[in-house]
A and B are shown apart, each in its own frame.
Chain A
Amino acid sequence: MNFGHHTDLFFAKVGFPIRKSSFLPYLLFTALFVLQATPTIGATISVETLSRLKDSSGNDLNNGFVLVGSFLARPDTGGATAISSLFTEDLATTRNNLNSGNYFTIFGEGSVLQGGVQFVGRDYTTPTPSTSTSSFVNYIRTDSVATSLENQSLFLLVFNQSTIGTSSEMMIFRPYLDLDSGLRSAIPEGDQGIFTFSLEAPPTGLLPELFFGKWSDDGETDSDGLRGVFNTVGMSQAFGITSSSTASATNGSPFTYEILANNGPLAYAATGMPNGLQIDTVTGLISGIPNDTAGSYSIVLDSVGGTVTSSKTLTLTLAAVAGNPPVVVTTTNVVNLFAGVSYSNAYTIHAINALSNPPITSYGASNLPAGLSVNTNTGVISGMPTQPITNATIPISAYNGATGYGQFTMTINSPTLSYPTLTFTAGSSSSSPVPTVTSGYQPTAYALGSSLPSGLSLNPTTGVISGTPTIGGTISTSTIGAVNASGVASSVTQEITVNTLRPAINSAPVYTVFNSANAAPYVITTTLTPAVVPPSSFSVSRGSLPTGMSLDTSSGVISGTPVSGKGITVIGLRANNANANGSPVPGGGEAPEFDLTIRVDVNPPVFNQALKKNCAAGFPLNAKNNFLSSANDPETFSLSGAPSWLAIANDGKISGTPPTAGTWIIPVTIANTTLASLRQANTQNLTITAVSSAASAASLGVRPGTFFLNQSLAVTYPSVGFFVTGQDMGADSVTSVNILGLPPGVIFANLADRRRGLLTGTPTAKGTYPCVVYVSNPKGFTRSTMTFEVK
């Protein structure tokens, strides 16, 4: 049967309880009218919670609606079977327990909320439910439509209407996502918990019945390892006020009446009450001291649901006051006190008593907070309240044979406990002041609700926080509680700052750099203590580093090569911990200046290259190659037994013109002095070879070669190539060979190979190659020709 455009409904009688079985992990029932908690039905359940339904005004929908619960079909075994088992194992039993005349319908999310998928249920026009499980199940779709309902919510509506005439009567609940547009639309994923229902006028004779339910853990584990019970509670009565329709009161005497109503109304109202009475619209409690004409009052009571207001008339009979009671005067309507403070006169009951009246013999007060009492002779309310309370109504009375009534409002505040701003310094002992408390509140003990910074402790008697904090640069909060002799407690959450100490540099006061070779960097260190937040920057606060050296201000590493020669430099260093990870550090900042003495000293000088020079007789030493390579900052160079034509400067440059050919071996001494004026020297022999004439190809034995196409000369002439001189003359040879016109691919790879006479490479073209051979030495060069061949 089709209802409207989208919904097929079925009815069956419902009952309870429903025992959880294997389907239950996938079942969610949200009792929207009473219960808002999500049921706990097993660790593996996947549920979506409809936590709230709203009426068209946006209010919580608590009435005028039937139950809407959601069931999740089994997600893993197929929709039809799962949904079948849902009803087979639960609602079939429920149905058997239905009261006569109770009906329900179940529809799926798609049928109502999304409008695309219909859920086929029992034909409501045949309201007699079958007790047969199979019969019931027969109404479940077993096709792909049902399968598509997997993991969708199912909704259960319960009615107490036995007959419904037309399908349109069932379309009483029409959900809209967007009330403004009035469009029916799908509920977006994730919004199921807040979708909105719009309640149209229910058809005549259709009175929804409320249906409550919730999950609970029964402690029994089923075969599927899950446990829990879903209990439903059917409501036999409809929504409405159930409290008595009659009541009586007496002028001047306190009166209370509580409106009772089914199914959790949102608010209450009452009209037509005598003076002196008022209603708490939230709780439905009518109270006060009536002061009006004696007689009968018809008071209209309203129980307001989300969309329905139920009304009932209360007949209140108001009697006149007997005798001539005193008139209680409430000069102070609101009294504010503090718990834990002893009051000798928190309030005094005043009453005006006519002279003609009998004298007042006693006073009374009720609903007094714990710790307070009334002196019935004087009307003085005194004592020490022990519990905070807000706006408590305190009825009071005076008695002269008749009782006069009044009331006032009392608020008991918690006593206060406070400290000023607390700042300590790591590593330093100090104390906080005694905490300030509410006047009259006398704590007898203090205790910590949460720990204090390390090193601090709380005096349990005075509340003073003292000690020597060990960790600096922290801001933390601690909870301190106090209690008085009566057990009245107070507490404060206190921010405590512990300042850091400034970082103290403790690295070596003297940094010695010996020469420049592989100098060890200087790394600034500071004292290791938790009282100090590590420095995040360093600076040279006085003087300057030797030229060539620099400070990494973030790491504190001084490195580099001093280029200014030996000397002593004293600089000031500072470490700064004002910030850590970009945030200010309490108490942080620059440390006192640290003096660092940097000694740039020298180790003995050394030659780091063979001292060998080639030259030509009668010609000056080659200006391009006349420095003696050395290390460790030599300051002087000197020669021993050198020929008169040879000189050396203090930068290691040798000069002179050998008059004749020959070889000279001359000791060269280099020296420097340390900062302590200690002379350091080193001597090595310098070999100078002077030639008198240019060499020739013939004198060197230069020979032509035969190569092979695409074959490396290192293969043809292993292991390195072809020596045109017949032998390796050495890279430091006096002479050098160059050949123009070599076969393509054949080369002297570098100057050293020219001195060695070494040809390398791979010929790339066959042929005969006439070449010009140049042989040179410091004296000059000669030119000759010869032919190379590539086969």
Chain B
Amino acid sequence: MNLKILLALVFLTATLTASFQSLGQSQEDLPLEVVNYRVAQGTNYFGIPLLRPALWRGKIASASNSTRVITDQDPKSSGPVLSQIPLERAYLEITASALDPKLVGERFEVGVVETRGPLGTKGQIRLVSSSWDTRPDVPTGLAGCSYEIHPHWTLSSFLGTPDKAPLRRAKSIANGDFVKIPSSTLSGKWESFFIVEDKKIVGWRNSRMRAGPDAGGEVIPPGLGVQIVVQAPSVAEKPLVLMGEARKHAFRRPLQVGRNLVSLGHPSPHSLSSILANRDYGFQAGSNSANSDEIQFRNHGRWEVLRYVQGSSGSAEPSWQCLTARYGGKIVNLPLLPAHQAFWIQKVQPDSDFIIPAPAP
């Protein structure tokens, strides 16, 4: 089956690339979920709740922390796929674990170069350390876990090739629209990208390397929101359609101290309750911005600020309070966090274990 899937993927990639590139997507395993965006003038905060179609799904036979090698339980099936794994950035995500459910959602960057070839033929996957990983080690407890390998979303796969992306091209970033991605290594820093168009050159570029290589393969890591800044005034909204697989399991998204631009991992609206934003799951309540965790989200054009406020007495339960508007009903149950929008979580303490359960089907 898996070989056939791969062949089907190759076939579909060949036959559908032209049409789907205009929509900034790759389609391999159908049917797929759809998330719609509109790129409007100003700064757009987008989240990517879908997965690019899996390259491989399997079960882990063993895992080595020292060599960072994962061995699939079915090398006969996985070998042909893994040995030919596409040379694009990908990650392995644990989708189920009968023995240790806490491992579900853990992500590990796949060394596609190292895996492709002899190692992959044996049904083995080489993991490489990455700042996008959800944990630094490769626990042996991964044996028995189900996993998937997904390619990362990139600028091109999300927004489209330079000629199709809904951004205004320019000679420099100052005159064009651009994309900002939070740096995964430098807290509070951003990487900016734009589509350069200069004479016959059209391509994605990092703003710091205008003359550098094409940046269309720049990764948008899972859980990171992106900003799309449309500078031109009075431009019409441009549609953007994303298709991909829906995550059926819990989504991990480690949080750092300070502001985290978060993208949800599931394609349905979330509430504070559904993302487990409470004391029992590492959220800190206080009395002001310095000692309270906060969430900022866009409510149809307006930024709202939610603060986790300690109860007035010691025994009182902390609660989420909106500082900018008043909502009806219990605010923790409202679907305030649309899947296609990125939002901020501002943390007083880091939370490397922040995890969002999969929505009930």
Contacts and interface: CB of A to CB of B under 8 A. Distances in A.
Interface of A: 503, 506-508, 510-512, 514-515, 517-518, 520-528, 532, 534-538, 552, 554-557, 559, 575, 603-604, 606, 608-610, 629, 631-632, 665, 674, 676, 678, 680, 682-685, 687, 718-720, 728, 730-732, 756, 758
- For chain B, the bracket of interface size reads 35 or more
Interface stretch (B33-41, B138-146, B191-199, B205-213): B33-41
B35 A517 contact: yes
Contact of B1 (A506, A534, A557, A756): A756
A682 B49 CA distance: 23
Contact of B269 (A520, A535, A674, A682): A520
23 contacts: A507-B299, A508-B299, A508-B300, A518-B338, A518-B340, A520-B341, A526-B327, A527-B325, A534-B326, A537-B328, A555-B327, A555-B329, A556-B327, A556-B329, A603-B239, A604-B239, A604-B241, A606-B243, A608-B27, A629-B30, A632-B241, A682-B23, A720-B77
B54 interface: no
A726 to B, nearest CB: 14
A588 B33 CA distance: 45
Contact of B328 (A524, A632, A680, A731): A524
Contact of B32 (A503, A525, A608): A608
B299 A603 contact: no
- Chief secondary structure at chain A's binding surface: loop
A520 B338 contact: yes
B113 interface: no
Contact of B329 (A522, A557, A687, A732): A557
A608 B27 CA distance: 8
Contacts of B174: none
B329 A554 contact: yes
Contacts of A603: 36-38, 239-241
| Listed residue (A532, A604, A758) with the most chain B CB atoms within 10 angstroms of its CB | A604
Contacts of B12: 610
B200 interface: no
B336 interface: yes
Contacts of B240: 603
Nearest to A683: B19
Contacts of A510: 300
B4 A517 contact: no
B300 A511 contact: yes
A525 B269 contact: no
A576 to B, nearest CB: 10
| Listed residue (B30, B239, B328) with the most chain A CB atoms within 10 angstroms of its CB | B328
Contacts of A758: 1
A525 B36 CA distance: 24
Nearest to B32: A608
Contacts of A538: 328
Contact of B299 (A523, A528, A631, A665): A523
Given A518-B36, A606-B243, A523 B340 contact: no
A521 B20 CA distance: 28
Nearest to A678: B236
Interface in B1-60: 1, 3-4, 7-8, 12, 15-16, 18-20, 22-23, 27, 30-38, 49
A565 B323 CA distance: 36
Contact of B236 (A520, A528, A535, A676): A676
A532 B325 CA distance: 12
Contacts of A557: 329, 334-335
Contacts of A756: 1, 4
B23 A606 contact: yes
A597 B255 CA distance: 37
Given A521-B269, A683-B19, A684-B20, 8 more contacts: A512-B38, A517-B35, A520-B339, A520-B340, A525-B326, A552-B329, A555-B328, A720-B1
A508 B333 contact: no
Contacts of B330: 555
Nearest to B123: A719
B74 interface: yes
A730 B4 contact: yes
Interface string B321-361: 01111111110011110111100000000000000000000
B279 interface: no
A393 to B, nearest CB: 55
B299 A525 contact: yes
B189 interface: no
A631 B36 CA distance: 11
B267 interface: yes
| Listed residue (B19, B31, B38, B334) with the most chain A CB atoms within 10 angstroms of its CB | B19
A536 B275 CA distance: 25
Given A610-B8, A718-B76, A556 B328 contact: yes
B236 to A, nearest CB: 7
A522 B1 contact: no
Contacts of A537: 328
B268 interface: yes
Given A518-B340, A534-B326, A728-B4, A685 B15 contact: yes
A730 B32 CA distance: 19
A300 B322 CA distance: 82
B30 A559 contact: no
Contacts of B301: 508
Given A606-B243, A610-B8, A730-B4, A526 B36 contact: no
B129 to A, nearest CB: 30
Nearest to A756: B1
Which 7 pairs of residues, A with B, have the shortest CB-CB distance?
A: A555-B329, A520-B338, A508-B300, A525-B325, A556-B328, A603-B36, A719-B74
